[in-house]
Structure formats: C-alpha cells, structure tokens
A = this chain, B = another copy of it.
Amino acid sequence: MIQFTCDYTRTAVPEVLEALAKAKNQYTGYGEDEITAEAARMIRHLTGDENVAVHFLLGGTQTNSTVIAAALRTHQSVVAATTGHINVHETGAIEASGHKVTVIQTEDGKLSAEAVDECLTTHEKDPNVEHIVQPAMVYISNPTELGTLYSLKELTALAEVCRKHEVLLYMDGARLGYGLAADENDLTLKEITKLTDAYYLGGTKCGTLFGEALVIKNPMLKKDFRYIMKQRGALLAKGFLLGLQFRTMFDGESLEDTLYYKYARHAICEAQKIRATLKACNVPLLLDSPTNQLFPQFTEKTLSRLKRDFVFDIWSPTLVRIATDWSTHPEETEKLISTIRGEFCNSPF
C-alpha cells in the first residue's frame, strides 16, 4: 500500500539523518548550544531582518498554543477561520490556555482583510464590549488547511487591517515550505517577515524528523518567550537535535538554495502531476489547491478501486485528501496517476 494520507509518513530527508548520525559531540542543553545558534542565524539571514527572534519548538499544536499563550491577556481571543487548525484539530489547546477562538466563516480556508476588518470593527463598536472577548490576534495558516495560498496582495491587506486595529498577525506555517515552493506563490520569506508579527517555518511536514522554526518580530512577543516555551514543554532537553536539523535544512544564501526549499519543490512537482491528471479526468476538486494537498471528490466506485493500492485521508465518504511530500517517490506518483487515468479516462493520454 502506498500512503498519500499526509506529509509525515517517513522519518526525514537523508541529509538530516546524516547530520544526526555524525553528531558525536557533547552539546549544551535546552537549545543553548552553538549549532542551534547557527541554525537561528541562518534563518534570520533568510528573513532579511537581523532583529527577529528564532526559536525551535517540537510541533504545530505546541507552537500555536505557546505563541498564543504568550501573546494574549486573559480576556483576549484569537481570530481564525472556522477551518483553522487551532479551531478544529488541536483538542482545545487554545482554550486550555484560557483563550477563545473567535471564528470567521470562510469557503477556502483563508481570512480576507474585509472579513477581519468587519469582525474587529463589530467588536469595537459593541455597546457591551466588555461582555465579549476582545480579539487581539489574527491566526492564519499558509498554506491553509485546504491547501490554498495567500497572495502578497491579500497578506498586505490583512496586515494593514491588523495594524489599524492594533491586533497581532500570526501565520501558522506548518506547510510553509510547500507554500513558498508553489508555482502560484508570490510571497517571499522577507515579505512574510515584514507583514506578520510571528510565523513558523514547519519542519515536521517538510522533511525534518520533527520541529518547527518560529520567527518572532513583535517585541512584546519576543520578551520572555523561552520561559513560556519551557512552561509548555517546548524547551527540548536535547535542543541541539532541532539545531542540527534546521541548520541542515536552511543552509543557503537564499531560500531557493536551501534543502528546505528544494525538497518542498519536489513535493509540489509530484502534486502538480496528480493535479493535472485529476483535472484531465474531470475529477471534481473541493478547491483547486496549488500546494501539496489535493482534495478530489471521487465516485464510490473509483475510490473503492484506488483503495486497493493507496491510502488517503478520508474527509467524507468520497472526498479525500491526497498529500505528497518531500519523500514522495516519482514511481509512487506515477502509479497513482496511471490508476486514476485507468479509472476515469479509459483512454491513453
């Protein structure tokens, strides 16, 4: 069986495993080692902002809840799309740290500047404002949980709205590598750094064993951040394991030179082949995602045929998620494509 369920089915890119195998020294604990410092310097360089803080945490849920707990006072909420990961798939981690997720209904997983502006304005104008949680941060994921991407124009508009209302803008970048490597993407890391208060470059889903590289620009959020990491279990004793992996992934003069980008680009190429096939075969797509996640709506019969050889993430009886990643073998892609073609098209291409 070949799994296209998700982007965390295999260990890590070979270079990361090699770096780990070679690390025979003794290192200082809790991320205070020189390798971690070097990894942070590399990422700072790529962001174009020497003043950002870079921290390495273990996973997405932890990163999100740590950032949000660090940012908000007790009466404040974080605004997210109804489909936002923090709203639906973190078992109430945000609420467990005391904060409501204020939701905005969306079709494509993205928050528009207009919708956020309306949400924040409505709150500010409410005559009973104190009876309602105060939105103080906007959470977006890019790519979203539905594989869609923010454009530079959209992110700029959103950032302006956030600044106007004095709320923070935070980007969950669990799959940011795949976003940055997408054909349709027009955002750079430098622009993301300029437009947001914090974001993370996901490692777990983009080729490391685990780990997320959090970039913080906002000074209030930077302050005492390691305390909050420790409190949330995010200060790994062997922090150098994160340093080793991210130093390997982010070594490069520009993002395009890094392994992080190269492996993400590979995943995009594999996804694009599948996307093209689905379109050619007129398989309906929930959304025309440009990233590594595709959401085709198969017929029962076709899905049943595909399930003989492939595993997908099942969203509804016939809607599935197909995800490629840094480790997807072209032969795996090829086999999936030819099976789909065989089912749908009944004709050679």
Contacts and interface: CB of A to CB of B under 8 A. Distances in A.
Nearest to A233: B62
A96 to B, nearest CB: 5
Contact of A11 (B5, B59, B238): B238
Contact of A130 (B6, B65, B69, B227): B227
B89 A74 contact: no
Contacts of A227: 75, 91, 129-130, 133-134
B77 A92 contact: yes
A6 B28 CA distance: 9
A61 interface: yes
Given A130-B227, A233-B65, A237-B59, A74 B97 contact: yes
Contact of A230 (B11, B25, B90): B90
Looking at A58, A74, A94, A238, the one whose CB has the most chain B CB atoms below 10 A away is A74
Contacts of A25: 10
A220 B74 CA distance: 13
A292 to B, nearest CB: 15
Please tell me the size bucket of the interface on A.
35 or more
A98 B96 contact: yes
A99 B95 CA distance: 5
Contact of A100 (B6, B60, B92, B134): B92
A30 B134 CA distance: 18
Contact of A233 (B6, B8, B27, B232): B232
Contact of A132 (B70, B89, B233, B234): B89
Contacts of A70: 73-74
Residue from the set A9, A95, A314 with the largest chain B CB neighbour count within 10 Å: A95
A97 B99 contact: no
Given A58-B236, A65-B233, A224-B73, A128 B209 contact: no
A238 B69 contact: no
B59 A91 contact: no
A346 interface: no
Contacts of A20: 11, 17, 20, 209
A70 B75 CA distance: 8
Interface centre among A90, A127, A233 (most CB of B within 10 A): A233
A205 B238 CA distance: 9
A70 B98 CA distance: 13
A210 B236 contact: yes
A241 interface: yes
A226 interface: yes
Interface in A181-224: 204-205, 209-210, 224
15 contacts: A8-B29, A9-B26, A10-B25, A30-B130, A60-B237, A69-B96, A70-B73, A75-B227, A91-B230, A93-B230, A95-B100, A96-B232, A130-B230, A134-B224, A232-B233
Top 3 closest A-B pairs, CB basis?
A62-B233, A75-B227, A9-B26
Given A70-B74, A92-B100, 20 more contacts: A6-B29, A8-B237, A11-B24, A11-B238, A58-B58, A58-B233, A61-B233, A74-B97, A74-B228, A77-B95, A88-B131, A90-B231, A91-B133, A91-B227, A91-B230, A95-B100, A96-B98, A96-B231, A133-B227, A210-B236
